[in-house]
Amino acid sequence: MKGFSRRLVRESHLSADDLIWTMIVSDSVKSREAVTSLPGVERVDIDNLVKDAKRAYDLGIPAIAIFPHINPKLKDGVGSEALNADGLIPNAIRAVKSAVPELGVIVDVALDPFTDHGHDGVLVGDEIINDISVDALADGAIILADAGADIVAPSDMMDGRVGAIRRELDQHGHHNVMIMSYAAKYASGYYGPYRDAIGTSAALRGDKRTYQMDPGNSDEAIREVGLDIEEGADMVMVKPGLPYLDIIYRVKSTYAVPTFAFQVSGECAMIMAAAQNGWADEERVILESLMSFKRAGCDGILTYFAPKAAEWLSESILDA
Ligand code: PBG
């Protein structure tokens, strides 16, 4: 086939419109600092976050997702810092929204960056207490919405949190703030570099298997996503991405709702490790991985590769 005919009959398309750039902002880093286990990704201060946000906008990327790297001194057992209206993330949201108002800002709702035990909820003894956690998460979501977040993304996997967040948002006049729920989030080995990046790896006690999903389950993902949609999620996410393309496909075919994948830190680290060794062609493999999400049914992808992918896509290299 000639190049022109391949373009004519191609079923899936990838562009900057599909990308959400995942960024890590820090309250203790001066300027920029590389994350060793996540080549190409940096923790940045708020000024540099704003610079990257402007770059995202210039590249045609519709939205960014911001994650916090919090000074350990601010962490405690219940993640109180998540409720600080003058905390790192609320300040980061305000800075980005005033510099680039048209860029969508997505923020995680979870306690793990703020707790001294690294869990997403409130830990009592060695148990995560679901309902107390849900109250704390809903309160945290209001702080983020007040600061100007466009989309809040509960990544904690507690039961009932989407409904609680929706009610609180509405009661506080945030009808237009959307919820992207981490609806099918697996207890995964692929989150390692992220936990290094936000400084929770060393602190994390035990694992997250009591609230994140078993990698062996697929029907359960359909139930989890269904609950979140009923509770008011505007869009849903499957996470990790590439190892769970079958889940993405099932979710999209079952519910036909806006569906996103999170190409998580470990997926990006693996590709970069191979690329840096000369064992894989970085550009080709990254764009192929992103295209596979579109083929599986995703409306968009959260990825650390967003800026480089947007640059390559503007050069139309997949057209060859
Ligand atoms: C936790 C959270 C995690 C990620 C985003 N939010 C990891 C975890 O559940 O421990 C992972 C992101 C990545 O690996 O890139 N609320």
Q: What is the maximal distance between C-alpha atoms in the chain?
A: 64
Q: What is the pTM of this model?
A: 0.96
CA distance 310 to 305: 8
Question: Separation of 288 CA from ligand 1 center, angstroms?
Answer: 23
What token pair was written down for 78? 């219940």
Rounded mean pLDDT, 178-198: 96
Taking 80 as the threshold, does the pLDDT of residue 140 lie above it?
yes
Residue 187 is predicted with a pLDDT of 96
Q: To test ligand 1's pocket by mutation, which of 24, 89, 107, 112 has the most ligand atoms within 8 angstroms of CB? A: 112
Q: What φ, ψ does residue 68 adopt, rounded to 5°?
A: -95, 140
Residue 232 is predicted with a pLDDT of 98
| Percent of the chain predicted with pLDDT > 70 | 98
Which amino acid type is present at position 234? Answer: D
CA distance 109 to 92: 15
For 11, 119, 267, 292, the CA distances from 51, given in Å and listed in that order, are 35, 31, 26, 30
C-beta atoms surrounding 46 within 10 Å: 16
Q: To test ligand 1's pocket by mutation, which of 158, 180, 194 has the most ligand atoms within 8 angstroms of CB? A: 194
Confirm whether 308 is a catalytic residue: no
pLDDT averaged over the chain? 95
Give the confidence band of 205 by pLDDT, cuts at 50, 70, 90: confident
Give the confidence band of 213 by pLDDT, cuts at 50, 70, 90: very high
pLDDT in tens, 247-285: 999 999 999 999 999 999 999 999 999 999 999 999 999
Give the confidence band of 319 by pLDDT, cuts at 50, 70, 90: low
Rounded mean pLDDT, 100-116: 96
- Write the residue with the smallest CA distance to atom 8 of ligand 1: 191
CA distance 172 to 179: 15
Confirm whether 239 is a catalytic residue: yes
Q: What φ, ψ does residue 203 adopt, rounded to 5°?
A: -80, -30
Taking 70 as the threshold, does the pLDDT of residue 58 lie above it?
yes
Q: Which of 75, 97, 185, 294 is catalytic?
A: 185
- Write the residue with the smallest CA distance to atom 2 of ligand 1: 155
Rounded mean pLDDT, 4-9: 92
Q: Which atom of ligand 1 is nearest to the CA of 268?
A: 15
Question: Which residues contact ligand 1 via a Cβ below 6 A?
Answer: 108, 110, 112, 120, 155-156, 191, 194-195, 208, 264-265
The full length of the chain comes to: 320
Give the confidence band of 1 by pLDDT, cuts at 50, 70, 90: low
What token pair was written down for 276? 């840096």
303: closest CA among 13, 15, 19? 19
Find out whether 258 and 236 touch, Cβ atoms under 8 Å: yes
Domains and CATH numbers, the chain: 14-319 (3.20.20.70)
| Percent of the chain predicted with pLDDT > 90 | 92
Rounded mean pLDDT, 59-81: 96
Q: To test ligand 1's pocket by mutation, which of 115, 120, 260 has the most ligand atoms within 8 angstroms of CB? A: 120
Classify burial at 259, counting beta carbons within 10 Å of its beta carbon; exposed 0-12, middle 13-18, buried 19 or more.
buried
- Write the residue with the smallest CA distance to atom 11 of ligand 1: 191
What token pair was written down for 288? 């192929």
